Homo-oligomer: A and B are copies of this chain.
Amino acid sequence: MALPSGNAIVAQSGGPSAVINQSLVGVIESLRGRDEVKKVLGARHGVKGMTTGQITDLSGVPAETLEAVARTPSSALGSTRDKPDRGYCEKILTALKQNDVRYFFYIGGNDSSDTCRIVSEMARSTGYDLRAFHVPKTIDNDLMENDHTPGFASAARYVAMSFMGDNLDNRALPGIKLNVVMGRHAGFLTASSAMARVAGGREDDGPHLIYVPESPLSLDRFVADVDGVYRKLGRCHIAISEGVNDEKGESIGAGLIKGEADAHGNAQLSGSGALGDQLVELLKKRLTPAGGKAPRARADTLGYAQRYWPDPSPVDSKEAREVGRFAVQTALKGDLTEASICIRRVSKPGEAYRSEIAAVRLDMVAAKTRHLPKEFLANGNNVTPAFIEWCRPLVGDLPKVGWL
C-alpha cells in the first residue's frame, strides 16, 4: 500500500513521566529526512492543542536541543487530561485534515490509545488516509500487551530509592512508617517498593508490608499485620497503594477523601495526604496498649515526584526512545495504518534482561487495564521473589548500603 505524503504530528497526553520526552524525541528524529513526511508538527497540550490551533513546527529543532529535551522530565509539549468523546475526535480529525497531517503519533496511556482508535476509524470512514499510532506511556504500568510501559521503570526507581532511604530512617528512629504510593488500579509501582530490600540486603529490611489494589484489604487485617511486625521488630515499614480496596472492592482511599472527579471520572487520589494520615490515626488508636502510649507512627504520601524525578532508570530512557522510533518505522513501512506499540520481555527468568518492541492492534490496549499477575502477589500483604526478579533489571543500580 502506497504511503500518503503529508505532515506528521506528535503530541503527549496524561500524567507526565521522567522519560516521555525520550519517546517524543524518538518520534521526531525518526520522521526527519523521510520523503513522505513534509513537516514535523507538535501539538501543545495533546489533543487540546490540536483542536485549538496550538501547533508548532518542530522540523528545524537542532539535534542538540532534542537531546536536551529527551533528558528533561515531564512533557515538553505540554499535556492534557482531556479524554475525547466522538464529537471531540471529529474536531481532532478536522484539525488533522486542515494541517495536512497524514501521520499522527499520540504518546500516552490507554485513553490515548482509544483516541487513536476512534480518530483512525473516523478517518477511514471518511476516506482520509491517516496513519495513527499510539506510543505507550504510563508510570502505573497498567497497559495490556506490555511487559512494562515506558515511564514505569523510572517511577519504580524513585519508589525503590525512597523506600531504601526510608527503611534506614525507620531503623534509626524506630516506629511505624507508612508510605502511600501512586496507583489507582494497578499495584506495580507500590510493589516496586520491595526493591528497597534488595538494596539494603538485610533480612529485616523494609518495607515489611505491601498493600496493592489487586489484594482486597480489611482494616482489621491491616491492623493485625502491623501489630505483628511491630511486636517482632520494634518497627514496621509499610507500602500502600492510593487505590487499595476493601473486601467489597471499594477504594479505602476514595471513601476517606472528599471526592472530586477529574475529567476521566476518576476520584482524585493523588495530591492529598488524607489516606496516609487516616491510616496512621487508625493504627495509633488501635495499637495503643491500655493505659499506655501510642506507638510512634507517621505517613508520607509520595507525590508527583514519582512521575518527574530527574534521575530516570537507564533501561527506561533507552526503551522510551525506542518505542518512539519504532512507531515511526512501523508507520513508514506502510503495512499497518494504525497500531499501539508495546514492549515485550524476551529473556526468561534467570537470563540477562532483553526486550523487544512490537506493534499490536489499538483495541488490544485501548481503554483496558492490566493488573499485577497473581504470581507476583503473596499473602495479601507482600510480593513474591518472582516480582523482584521481574522488577530488578528495570530500576537500574541502587546505591549500596553500608552497615555498622
Question: Inside 8 A of A401's CB, which chain B residues have their CB?
Answer: 68, 72
Contact A305 B310 (CB under 8 A): no
Question: Inside 8 A of A165's CB, which chain B residues have their CB?
Answer: 18, 73-74, 304-305, 308-310
Q: Which of A114-122, A124-132, A267-275, A359-367 interfaces with chain B? A: A267-275
Contact A303 B304 (CB under 8 A): no
**Could you list some 18 contacts between A and B, CB below 8 A?**
A16-B169, A16-B173, A42-B404, A65-B402, A68-B403, A72-B402, A73-B168, A75-B172, A165-B305, A165-B308, A166-B308, A271-B280, A271-B300, A273-B273, A273-B276, A273-B277, A301-B301, A311-B311
Tell me the complex Cα distance, A177–B305, Å: 12
Q: Mark A170-201, 1 if CB is under 8 A from B, else 0.
A: 01110001010000000000000000000000
Question: Inside 8 A of A164's CB, which chain B residues have their CB?
Answer: 310
Q: Check: A307 CB closer than 8 A to any chain B CB.
A: yes
Question: Inside 8 A of A65's CB, which chain B residues have their CB?
Answer: 402-404
Q: Check: A343 CB closer than 8 A to any chain B CB.
A: no
Contact A173 B277 (CB under 8 A): no
Partner of A303, one of B12, B75, B302: B302
Question: Inside 8 A of A273's CB, which chain B residues have their CB?
Answer: 272-274, 276-277, 299, 301
Interface size range of chain A in the complex: 35 or more
Contact B76 A162 (CB under 8 A): no
Q: Which of A77-85, A348-356, A376-384 interfaces with chain B? A: A77-85
Partner of A173, one of B72, B81, B303, B311: B81
* CB-CB nearest in chain B for A58: B404
CB distance from A309 to the nearest CB of B (A): 6
Partner of A300, one of B12, B76, B173, B305: B305
Q: Check: A218 CB closer than 8 A to any chain B CB.
A: no
CB distance from A13 to the nearest CB of B (A): 10
Contact A80 B173 (CB under 8 A): yes
Contact B272 A72 (CB under 8 A): no
CB distance from A25 to the nearest CB of B (A): 9
Contact A166 B305 (CB under 8 A): yes
Contact B298 A301 (CB under 8 A): no
Q: Check: A67 CB closer than 8 A to any chain B CB.
A: yes
* CB-CB nearest in chain B for A262: B296
Contact A168 B272 (CB under 8 A): no
Question: Inside 8 A of A400's CB, which chain B residues have their CB?
Answer: 68, 71-72
Contact A305 B162 (CB under 8 A): yes
Contact B71 A399 (CB under 8 A): yes
Q: Check: A161 CB closer than 8 A to any chain B CB.
A: yes
- Shortest 10 CB-CB contacts between residues of A and residues of B: A273-B273, A68-B402, A300-B303, A271-B298, A165-B308, A74-B168, A69-B402, A75-B172, A79-B172, A310-B399
Q: Mark A304-319, 1 if CB is under 8 A from B, else 0.
A: 1101111100000000
Tell me the complex Cα distance, A26–B82, Å: 55
Q: Mark A372-404, 1 if CB is under 8 A from B, else 0.
A: 000000000000000000000000000111111
Partner of A169, one of B68, B74, B179: B74
Q: Check: A219 CB closer than 8 A to any chain B CB.
A: no
Tell me the complex Cα distance, A311–B399, Å: 9
Question: Inside 8 A of A282's CB, which chain B residues have their CB?
Answer: none
Interface residues of A in 56-96 (CB under 8 A from B): 56, 58, 61, 65-81
